[in-house]
Structure 1
Amino acid sequence: MKKYFSIMLFSAIGGALTLGSYKLFIEESPMVVEQQVIEQPQAVQANYLNTVNSIENTDFTVTAEKTLNTVVHVKNTSYKTTRDPYREFFYGQGSGTKQYSQVGTGSGVIISSDGYIVTNNHVVKGASEIEVTLNNKKVLKAELVGADATNDIALLKVKTDELPYISFGNSDAVKVGEWVLAVGNPYNLTSTVTAGIISAKGRDLHGNGNVTDSFIQTDAAVNPGNSGGALVNTRGELIGINTAITSQTGSFVGYSFAVPSNIAKKVIEDLMEFGNVQKAILGVRGGELNSKVAENLEIENTEGFYISEVTEGSGAEKAGLNSNDIIIKMDGVEISTYADLTGFIRTKRPGDVVNVTYLRSGERFTTNVTLSKNEMSKVSSLGLELKNLNSNELKKLKIENGVQVTDLTNQELLYYGVKKGFVITAINNKKVNTVDDVVDMISNKSKNDVLRIEMLNLDGEIERYIFR
C-alpha cells in the first residue's frame, strides 16, 4: 500500500512539473498591462434575482459549437545562434558557435475555408518555423503571409482540405454589456471557451507596450496561450482578436483586451492585396476633450476630438475643417475619445471618403473628407518626428530613398549633433522609403536588438547611430 501511494504521489508531482514547465518556458502569454491596485468600492445591497434569471436563460452552446473548430493552436520555433569568442580563441574558429531553438505558442482563428488564419504578431514574431494544430489535433505547417506590428496582427496560410471558418462581425456595432465568448487553444489540447461581457470600447493602452489605440475590453477570461484567439458575439461572429490582459501576475485577474475585428479585417485585406498595410490620415492634430480641457478652452463640450491644427493640403483642409472644430461622429460612429478617432481611421485606406460630423461655435455641421496617405509620423521611442520625401526632394538631395527629420526631442541625438533636416536612409542595412517603414522597423524590434540608423546630415555626409 505504501508503494502504491508513493507511485501516485510521484506521478502527481511529475504531472505538475510537466504542466508548469510547459507554461513557464513554452507558452506565449498575452501582452500584459500593469495596473495599479485600486481600493475596492463600498459594498451595497442588491437584488440578484433578475441577474440570475438572465444568466440562466443565456445559452452559449450553439455559439460554442460554431466557433470551437475555427480556433487553432499556433506554435512558432525560432533558431538563434550564439558565439563564444573566448572558446574560439582557445579551440579555434567555429568552436564557440552554438545554435539553439526557442519555442512560443498562442492561438489563431481560421477566417477562410482555404486556410487563411489570423493571429497576433507577437505570437509569431521572429519565427523560423510555424506549426498549426487544428481542433481535431491535425498538425499543419504554416506560412507567414504578412504581419503588422502596429496593430499586432499577423496572417498565416496552411495548405489543406476545406476548413471550418469564422465570419467577421462589425466591431463598431458591439455594445457595452453585450455577451461575448473568448475562444482559444492555449494548451495544444482542444479549443476552450470562456464567457463574459463587453466592459468597454475604445480602450487606449498606448504607453504600456501596446500600439493599438482602440481595444475592446471584456471580462471574459484570457490566459497565457490565448493570444491570437477569437472574441465572438452570441451569433458566432468574430468581433475581436484577443491580445492583452491587465495583470500584475501575468495571469488573468479581471480584464482582457482584443483588437477590434474591423481593424483586423482591414489589416488582413491589405496584407493579401498589397503585401503591407495601407495607412490613412484625416489630416488633423488635437486631442480628446474632458472637463479640464473644456474649461481651459472655455467650451461646454467634454466629449469629442478637439482640432488644434489642420494639416496643409490634407483632406481635412480641403473639406473645410478648421482648428477649434470638435469632431463628434464619423460615418455615424460616435467619436468621444482620441482612441475612438484613431480606431476608426485604422479601418480605412487612403482615398476612402468618410462623413464627418463636427461642432463649430456650438452649431453642428457635416462634411465629406477624403483620407490621404500618411506622410508624417512621430516615433516616440526615438524622439523624432519624420516626413516622407517626394521625388523632387530626393533628387535635390541626390539620394534614392529616405525620410526627413522635421522635429526631435531626443536629447542624446541633439547632443551628438542630429538636427532638423537630417534624412534617415537605412535602419539595420534596410532601406527606408517611408515613415511607415521606420514605424514598422521600430515596432518589430525585439527587446535586446540593436538599431543601426544611417542618416544623411545637412552637409550631404552619411552618419551612423546605434540605439540599444
Structure 2
Amino acid sequence: MRAIQAVAALLLGLALVLAQTLATNAREIPGSFADLAESVSPAVVNITTSTNVATPGGPAPIVPEGSPLEDFFRDFMERQQQDGRPEQRRQRRSNALGSGFVISEDGYIVTNNHVIEQADEILIEFFSGEELEATVVGTDPNTDIALLKVDSDEPLPFVPFADSDTARVGDWVMAVGNPLGQGFSVSAGIVSARNRALSGSYDDYIQTDAAINRGNSGGPLFNMDGEVIGVNTAILSPNGGSIGIGFSMAANVVTNVVDQLQEFGETRRGWLGVRIQDVTEDVAEALGLASAEGALVTDVPPGPSAEAGIEAGDVIVTFDGSEVEDTRELVRIVGNTEVGKAVRVVVFREGTTQTLLVTLGRREEAERTFPASAPADEPIEEEIMGLTVSELTAEMAEQLGVADGTAGLVVTDIDETSEAFEKGLRAGDVITEAGQNKISSPADFEAQIEAAKEAGRKSLLLLVRRDGEPRFVALSVG
C-alpha cells in the first residue's frame, strides 16, 4: 500500500512540474500582440516628405538620324544657347513616405536619414490623425539615422530604447510602420540573427523575419516589453518586397548617435588614426600570434596613434579594456568612444605586448597627409617567390601614384601559378616591407626570406601598396 502511495505521489509531483513547464512556455509564446500594439502605436509616426525637383519645360524634339531637319534643329538649339536663353524648366513636387517614432514627450523623433534626405518639407502624421511639420536636428549617413523635432502644445506619447545587446536569436519582435503607404501597420516575427554587417563601418544590424517593406524605413522594431531594440532600415529582396529578411540598426548604436545629434547637431566619433586589416591565419603565423584575432596596423599617418608610438605591423589586441576580435569591432568601439579621451591600447609587437596611451582625435575632422620624396637609383630586376621585382625609382613612383619618398620594390611581373598571385599580388604593386623590415632592393628581400627560415617561420609578412593603399600579405617561405 505504501509503495502505491509513493508511486502516486511521484506521479503527482511529475505532473506538477510538467504543468509549471507548460505554463512557463505559454507565457513565452504570446497569444496576441494586440496589447503591445495598442500601447506603442501612439508613439509611432508616418513621415511624408516633399522635394522640389526641377524638370525641363518640354521634351526635346526627336529627329531621325540623317533627316533633312537634323541640321535645322541643331542650329536652332545652338542659337538659343548663344542668345543666352536658358532652357525653360518647371518645378514639380516629389513625395516620399517613411516611418519614425517619438523618443521624448517634447517632440524628438527618430527615423532613417534616407527617408528625409534632401527634403524641403517634412510632415509628421500621428496615430491620432494630428499632423505637424518637423525640422531636422541632425543626421548621420554612416548609420542612416536622422533626428527630427516637432513642436506640440501637449506632451507626446513616446517609447524608450532597449539594451539591444540583450536581444537573443529567437526572441519575439514586432515592427510598426508605414509599409507601402499603409500607415500604422503591424508585423511580427523573431530575431533571426545578430551583429549583421551590410556596408557601413558602424553597422550592427539585427536581422528579423518580421515583414518589413518599403515605407517601414525609420520605424521601430519592438521587443515584447514595448522597448525599441532597432530601427528598421533595409530589406534583402530580389523583387523589392518582403521575403522575411529585414535589417534593423541595433538600438545601442542608435542611442549613441541620437545623443550626439541631440547635443551637438552632428556626430563626434573618436579617431585612432591608423589603417588596419584583419589578421588571417597565415598572417598570425608569420607574426607569431597564438590566434588570428586583433587588428593589424598597415599604416600610421600623422595623428593620435603616430603621436602615441603605434607602428605599422603592430596588432591591436585590446582597446580601452575591450578585446579586439577584428577590424570591424575596433572601428565600432573607437567610433563610440569620446573624442579627446585618453585610452590604453595594447599592441602585439615583435613577440611581446606593449601598452600605449592614445588620446583620440575626432574622425570627422581628421586630415590624413603622407610624407613624400623618391630614390632615383636604376632598377635591378630579380625573380623572388614568383614575383619579378625591381627597385622603385622616382619615375616609377610617379607612374604608379606612389607617394614621394617611398622606398621599396615594384612588382613588374608575376607567375600566375604562384602563391603570390593567389594571394592577390599583381604587377604594379609596391612592396615596402618584408618581415616587418623596410626593404629597398632585391637583396633586402632575400635577406628577410632567409631570416624567416632561420627563425623557424613558415610565412613571411609583406607590406604591399596599391594605389597608395597599404595591406599585409603573408607568403610561405618553406
Using the size of structure 1 for normalisation, the TM-score is 0.60
Q: Distance in 2 between matches of 1:84 and 1:57?
A: 61
Aligned to 1:204: 197
1:237-386 matches, cutoff 5 A: 237-295=227-285, 297-314=287-304, 318=308, 321-330=310-319, 335-354=324-343, 356=345, 369-374=358-363
Asked whether the equivalents of residues 276 and 297 of structure 2 are also in contact (C-alpha less than 8 Å), the reply is: yes
Specify the alignment match of 2:368 in structure 1: 387
Match of 2:177 in 1: 184
Partner of 1:8: none
Contact 2:203 2:249 in 1 (8 A): no
Counterpart-to-counterpart distance in 2, 1:244 and 1:283: 30
Residues 68 and 204 of structure 1: CA distance in aligned 2, closer, same or farther (over 3 Å):
same
Which residue, 105, 125, 138 being the options, matches 1:133?
A: 125
Equivalent pair of 2:169/2:190 in contact (CA under 8 Å): no
Give the equivalent residue in structure 1 for 2:54: 81
List aligned pairs for 1:66-145, cutoff 5 A: 66-84=39-57, 96-145=88-137
The secondary structure found in structure 2 opposite 1:122 is helix
CA distance in 1, matches of 2:168, 2:52: 43
Name the CA distance, whole Å, in 2 between partners of 1:136 and 1:254.
30
Larger radius of gyration: 2
CA RMSD of aligned residues (A): 4.0
Name the CA shift for 1:273/1:194 in 2 (closer, same or farther; >3 Å).
same
Aligned with 2:134: secondary structure?
A: strand
Q: Quickly say closer, same or farther: Cα 1:112–1:55, change in 2 above 3 A.
A: same
- Aligned residue identity for 1:75: T
- Give the alignment of 1:148-163 within 5 angstroms: 148-160=140-152, 161-163=154-156
Which whole-Å CA distance do the structure 2 matches of 1:236 and 1:314 have between them? 42
Q: Which runs of no fewer than 5 residues in structure 2 stay unpaired?
A: 1-20, 62-75, 371-397, 405-478
Match of 2:28 among 57, 62, 76: 57
Q: Mark the CA change 1:295 to 1:248 in structure 2 (over 3 Å): closer, same or farther.
A: farther
Do the aligned partners of residues 94 and 308 (structure 1) sit closer, same or farther apart at CA in structure 2, a change above 3 Å counting? closer
Distance 1:274 1:224, change over 3 A: same
- Once residues 216 and 189 of structure 1 are traced to their aligned partners in structure 2, the CA distance between those partners, rounded to angstroms, is 23
The residue type paired with residue 141 of structure 1 is E
Structure-2 change in CA distance of 1:222 and 1:296 (3 Å)? farther
Paired letter, 1:341? L
Are 2:141 and 1:146 aligned?
Answer: no
Contact 2:294 2:324 in 1 (8 A): yes
Q: 1:289 to 1:315 in 2, by over 3 A?
A: closer
Identity between Structure 1 and Structure 2 (%): 35
Task: Provide the rounded CA distance (Å) in 2 between the counterparts of 1:322 and 1:276.
Answer: 31
- Alignment partners' CA distance in 2, 1:300 and 1:322: 20
Show the counterpart of 2:423: none
Local SS of the residue matching 1:387? coil
Asked if the contact 1:328/1:359 (under 8 Å) is kept, the reply is yes
Rate the CA distance shift 1:233–1:301 in 2: closer, same or farther, 3 A.
farther
Preserved CA contact (<8 Å) 1:181 1:232: yes
With over 3 angstroms needed to count, the CA separation of the structure-2 counterparts of 1:96 and 1:280, relative to structure 1, is same
Task: Flag the structure with more relative contact order, 1 or 2, with Cα contacts below 8 A and sequence separation at least 6.
Answer: 1
Q: Which residue of 2 aligns with 1:380?
A: none
User: Residues 305, 172 of structure 1: CA spacing in aligned structure 2 closer, same or farther, 3 A cutoff?
Assistant: farther
State the 1:80 CA deviation. 0.8
CA offsets per residue over residues 324-351 of structure 1, 9 Å max, x none? Answer: 4444554565532322222223323311
Supply the distance in 1 between the matched residues of 2:49 and 2:186 (Cα, whole angstroms). Answer: 20
Q: Quote the offset at 1:192 in angstroms.
A: 1.6
AA partner of residue 197 (structure 2): D
Deviation digits for residues 58-80 of structure 1, max 9, x if unmatched? 33566544432222111111111
Gaps of 5+ in 1: 1-49, 378-385, 390-413, 422-468
Contact 2:37-2:186 within 8 A present in 1 as well: no
Between 217-226 and 174-183, report the one with greater CA deviation.
174-183
Per the normalisation by structure 2, the TM-score is 0.59
Contact persistence 1:200–1:218 (CA under 8 A) = no
